[in-house]
Chain A
């Protein structure tokens, strides 16, 4: 970097990218707080079944476990995808993020199936406070997964079109942060909602 103006401009960009990362972490914290409220609400209302079936009667531990394994695996593949992105290997990046996307899709469809079965057997979010809080807590996570998937498709489309430059790697890094974050939240849902129902 002999040209001082050019180096100043590069410096300017690096600083901006650093700030975006930091800001995204703060955003994740705010999102986490929203989940914290939903967990608290679930803890308060989980006993209010009005004599109806409790979580033990309604949930399937096997389904929850397989959802967990799928999501954890998707986090792993997402991590590999990130390594590929940082070393600028476009095809590998697309492959691993693609696998992540598919796993996310499987997770989401399993969750939708679980919800659909509950609703079909008459256990809807209107039934009682326990089910309201269950559907909203798990559903909010599902909604986040859905937005992660939409975000992923769009980002991958741009990777395909524009290739992997510095900006694109940063965008992928944000996406992977978001994905890992959803994984962590799911671990809490698995523990509090599903394991909690069977203890």
Chain B
């Protein structure tokens, strides 16, 4: 009876190791304090109505950023723990972690950073910016968008569930390689948590992909042909096309793994004719394109930034479009380079090796187009531009080491070494993460209505750059010296320890960079009146998102603009704006359906993890009921009348006229010391008021 009701779940599942207890306490404290704050401020209703149930892609974008940001800290902590263990655990010392715990940490680091950080932040930017760039008022399906976001959140909760409800984290690497991830070798619930967090958030990602393809292809402003689209939109479109191409592969591959574990089938087992290498093949067919899904929007971000901050329209627009399309196409055809050592034979290996090297050609074309854009431009070295330059330096390193690894004989030496680890961190940190940071600094005024602090931003940037090279250069060297990845202990005689220690300190400097970025945001909020962006166009922008107020109104555009040229807003500015004629606007209503469905989806996964049979069945019925109620509800929109639109636009116009322009004041962006002083003063004031 008990088994029927609770499956494998029992008291032993509760946290009982220092790290799970610590995690559980931290999570519960966070939830309790957030709940207490909301109750104290009477903000529950506001939170539910304005944010959680919102179908506005701008709000959903910001929520993606908040959740993704927290996960970035979580994954970063994992990274530091890995480095610390590796710098300590040499010779007779065995560091502070057990092997099993170490394996769980590097698995958590990889899965979380790719699925729950990079994807979230990229989706956050796309959500906020793409509709504004193409002159759309909303996404094609606002409901699918909130559903996708909440499925992602359900995945986040699932992947962190082991803190609260024990068991363990998967210890099989971020891709759960078979047959290690099979029931035979990983009998615990860790892999099941991994499977279901990926399944749930992966379906959300696929929905997002479908939604953005619909939006970009069907909802562009009048006159904006494909070759007049801003490049960030192009990058997003290509990325989303890749999402709908490869995420189904992930869903089905992970399902097969689930069948192996749950139903006892033999797809990837070592017995009864199963084929473990097939898992590697299938998962990399998704896994390789995945990194390009992340980097294509990033290429788009850099294109926008280079053009804006060089005050020139982008050079060789069409070659950038073709370059990105080329990257997207070839990226689907190179997955085998992740396992040259499988033994597919010289012909197969060289075909995939050559295909991999060819990717460098369109990528280089992109880089040269950006450099050509800067040539003879009037460049401003603002923060977004700095991140772009940092990207060029780091990404070039990653690209070159990538071409090296694409040569099969070289790869046989370096396969699964730290050289490889250093390579993909160069591309993912340099390419994806720096792109996101550049985009965040660039579009933050649009999202919040004020700029980010430049001074502290610069400190953060330099910490990242110095920390990055200090952390990853040793890994390249270690890889060449023969150190393999995922080592929790190594022999003292090979002289690796100094390099590992150096890498650890590099990691610490990166962490300082992260802290400075948080400080940058807090300091900007404190100085928001001075950093205000009243015009909506702080950088002298070129694309349509800068033509609306900051932050953009719920309906984005009071009047849908007509895009006659590539840099639509720039040409509008040159022509001068004409008096608008307002009309009624349809705006989607809020809906809680996305949240309810995601809760049920979470329960499906949870039931399967702990083998509680009745729970998934009940939850699937719940999902069906929610979907039926939603699809047969015809009243999902409300209308903002032309009069109201005019009123909102007018009040904004007044605000612009009356606002002091930021550059008039002598006050500078806050530095670190002033920030600390301000925080201390605030804390002191708090204490005094208490007395």
Contact = CB atoms under 8 A, between A and B. Distances in A.
Interface of A: 5, 8-9, 12, 15-16, 18-20, 22-23, 26-27, 29-31, 33-34, 37-38, 41, 44-45, 48-50, 125-130, 132-133, 135-136, 150, 154, 158, 167, 171
A167 B634 CA distance: 9
B249 A37 contact: yes
A132 B258 CA distance: 13
Contacts of B278: 41, 44-45
A19 B244 contact: no
B214 A19 contact: yes
Interface stretch (B269-277, B463-471, B512-520): B269-277
Contacts of B269: 129
B248 A31 contact: yes
A33 B249 contact: yes
Given A12-B586, A37-B248, A128 B210 contact: no
Contact of B217 (A22, A34, A133, A135): A22
Given A37-B248, A127-B272, A129-B272, 11 more contacts: A9-B584, A15-B218, A19-B141, A23-B213, A34-B248, A34-B251, A37-B249, A37-B253, A48-B274, A129-B274, A132-B265
Contacts of B265: 125-126, 132, 135-136
B264 A126 contact: yes
Given A23-B211, A31-B248, A45 B272 contact: no
Contact of B263 (A41, A125, A127): A125
Nearest to A27: B210
Given A48-B273, A128-B272, A22 B249 contact: no
Interface stretch (B319-327, B334-342, B624-632): B624-632
9 closest residue pairs by CB, A with B: A48-B273, A129-B273, A132-B265, A33-B248, A126-B264, A129-B266, A30-B248, A34-B252, A34-B248
14 contacts: A5-B583, A19-B219, A23-B211, A23-B213, A26-B213, A29-B244, A30-B210, A34-B248, A37-B253, A37-B282, A45-B275, A126-B264, A129-B266, A132-B266
A9 B586 contact: yes
Given A9-B586, A33-B245, A132-B266, A50 B141 contact: no
Interface in B173-220: 206, 210-211, 213-214, 217-219
Contacts of A34: 248-249, 251-252
A27 B624 CA distance: 18
Contacts of A50: 272-273
Contacts of A31: 248
Given A5-B584, A23-B140, A41 B219 contact: no
B218 A22 contact: yes
Contacts of B253: 37
A38 to B, nearest CB: 6
Most chain B beta-carbon contacts within 10 A, residue among A27, A126, A129, A158: A129
Contacts of B586: 9, 12
Interface string B9-33: 0000000000000000000000000
B539 interface: no
B140 A19 contact: yes
B275 to A, nearest CB: 6
Contact of A150 (B144, B213, B274, B624): B624
A129 B248 contact: no
Contacts of A16: 140
